[in-house]
Amino acid sequence: MKDKKEKIKYYDLGPLIMPKSVAIVGASYDADKVGHIILRNYLNAGFSGKLFPVNINAVGDLLGLKVYKTVSDIKQKIDLVVVATPASTVPEIISQCGKAGAGGVVVISSGFAEVGNVDLQKQLIENAKKYKLPVIGPNCLGLVDIKSKTDTMYLPSFKLDKPIIGNVSFISQSGAIGSIVLDLIDHEGFGLAKFISYGNADVVDESDILAYLAEDKETKLIIFYLEGVKDGKRFLETIKKYGLKKPIIIIKAGTTAQGATAAHSHTAALAGNSEVYDAIFKQHGLVQAEDLYDLLYFAKIFEMSPLCIGNKVGIITNGGGAGVLMTDAICKNGLELAQLSDKSKDNLRKVMPGIVNITSPLDIGGDADRIRFKNAIDAVAGDGNVDIIVAIVLFQTPGADSSVVAEIVNAKNKTNKPFIVISIGGNYTLAHRSMLESANIPVYESPMAAARALKALIDFSNAKIQKK
């Protein structure tokens, strides 16, 4: 008789990510120090829970809060402890947190295995496991939860655009990549649920975080920057279980020999063979991005669009050249240019001026206005040969203005097909792009980026349906 397969156990990250009480060890009186910035960010964000600044040289108050010398001196329940002190002090602080019954710890401090200090890292791990204490880090930015207003990052709030609340959660092994993507998310028109930067993954690793977010009701999709994994077998079992539960869009760094070496010196990650990762990701439905912009572009279409198994793209454009570029882009990505039915063509001939050639892609002319866009979109969206609608809107033309935006929004709300817009231009275009994305319509500035995003959406949709 075969033994039953042992169930994977994951750390409970709830107390860390949505804490009601936070202790910040290393909360400095110096406004330029990391611990001070973290405390100030909590206060600026309007965190409604309890805050406990901890400083071994505690004297009086800090930013209006009582300061404690050690975690042990706090005689109240602590959900999360954020540690921003020299690396040599961290293992003992972990022990104090364990004895105090803390819910978990985020270690911002660096100076462990990533710089060769392996023994200190082992000590940290041993102390955490002794108390079964979930520890994120060291060498990380930590956590952001928009809803509960927890934010362990030490980045000054005026230096990056914090995302609005949304349904996308972001995992990053690298704090630097985390800060870049967080700064860009709002510009791509979608919001953030949670962000977790986990650094060296000494205790809590990528598998724990993936499992938590896969079960998190506020997370619709996950984007993930990965350098390497701590436990390959555990990671494989995790993505087998969760890979198709919700979209996981991943960018794997360290795919070259030199990149793998850089990854190890950065977060002490075991980068592994890129071909093996590629095969595993594909087998289990993870969506792979090649660069950070694709990570965001893919997230946008998954966030704003329904799943789609068809690959026939209907294109409407008020600029012929842009239509040609989009046609090339979809063909290069294995998609098809939809051919309109005879019925759709007949209907279009009745409402379009004679200068419009009723073909695919459908070029409605540089003088197209609201009515012409409406008629074209209605015909393409209602055609059974079309799986996906792409409207290319060049707002530089006389008839393209906010009234065209209104028609696109109305049409999008009446169809269950993916509907994306491509619009390229300066400030006037950007203002209209913002209007469209506020209505949950993904907008791209590049035909090729849009086509890659569509391909990712279709591949995931097919993999999910095949699994069923």
Contact 286, 243 (CB under 8 A): yes
**3-class DSSP assignment, residue 150:** strand
**Which CATH number does the domain 307-467 belong to among 3.40.50.261, 3.40.50.300, 2.40.160.20, 3.40.120.10?**
3.40.50.261
Which pLDDT belongs to residue 85? 97
**Two tokens at 209?**
């975080």
pLDDT confidence of residue 139: 94
> Does the N-terminal peptide bond of residue 53 adopt cis geometry, omega within 30 degrees of 0?
no
pLDDT of residue 264: 47
Give me the pLDDT at residue 288, please: 96
> Residue 132 pLDDT more than 70?
yes
Q: Which residues contact 157 (CB under 8 A, 6 or more apart)?
A: 41, 44, 45
| Number of Cβ within a 10 Å radius of residue 126 | 12
Instruction: Report whether pLDDT(86) > 50.
Output: yes
- The mean per-residue pLDDT over the stretch 448-456 comes to 98
Give Cα separations from 383 to 38, 178, 314, 345 (angstroms): 54, 42, 9, 10
Residues of the chain with CATH 3.40.50.261: 14-301, 307-467
Q: Which of helix, strand or coil describes residue 381?
A: helix
pLDDT for the residue 51: 97
Q: How many CB atoms lie within 10 A of CB 43?
A: 12
Rounded to an integer, what distance in angstroms lies between the CA atom of residue 340 and that of residue 345? 7
Q: What is the mean pLDDT of residues 243-266?
A: 71
Domain 14-301, CATH homologous superfamily name and number: Succinyl-CoA synthetase domains (3.40.50.261)
Residue found by looking up tokens 């070259």 in the block: 256
Dihedral angle over CA of 292, 294, 300, 302, nearest 10: -120
Confidence band, pLDDT 50/70/90 cuts, at residue 261:
low
pTM for this entry: 0.91
Instruction: With a cut of 70, say whether residue 465 has pLDDT above it.
Output: yes
Q: How many residues does the chain have?
A: 468
Instruction: Give mean pLDDT, residues 287-309.
Output: 96
pLDDT for the residue 182: 93
Over residues 266-289, the pLDDT tens digits come to 444 445 577 888 889 999 999 999
CA-only gyration radius of the chain, Å: 25
**3 to each of 9, 86, 232, 289, 351, how far by Cα in Å?**
17, 46, 22, 39, 70
d(CA 152, CA 41): 8
Least confident segment among 5-14, 88-97, 235-244, 421-430: 5-14
d(CA 20, CA 100): 16
- The yes-or-no verdict on residue 256 having pLDDT over 70 is no
Q: Which residue has the tokens 């901890």?
A: 54
Helix (H) or strand (E) segment spanning residue 203: none
Q: Give dist(CA 148, CA 468) in Å, integer.
A: 35
Stretch 406-432: mean pLDDT, rounded? 97
Tokens of 424: 């390229």
pLDDT attached to residue 255: 62
| Rounded (10°) angle between helices 447-467 and 292-304 | 60
| Percent of residues, the chain, with pLDDT higher than 70 | 94
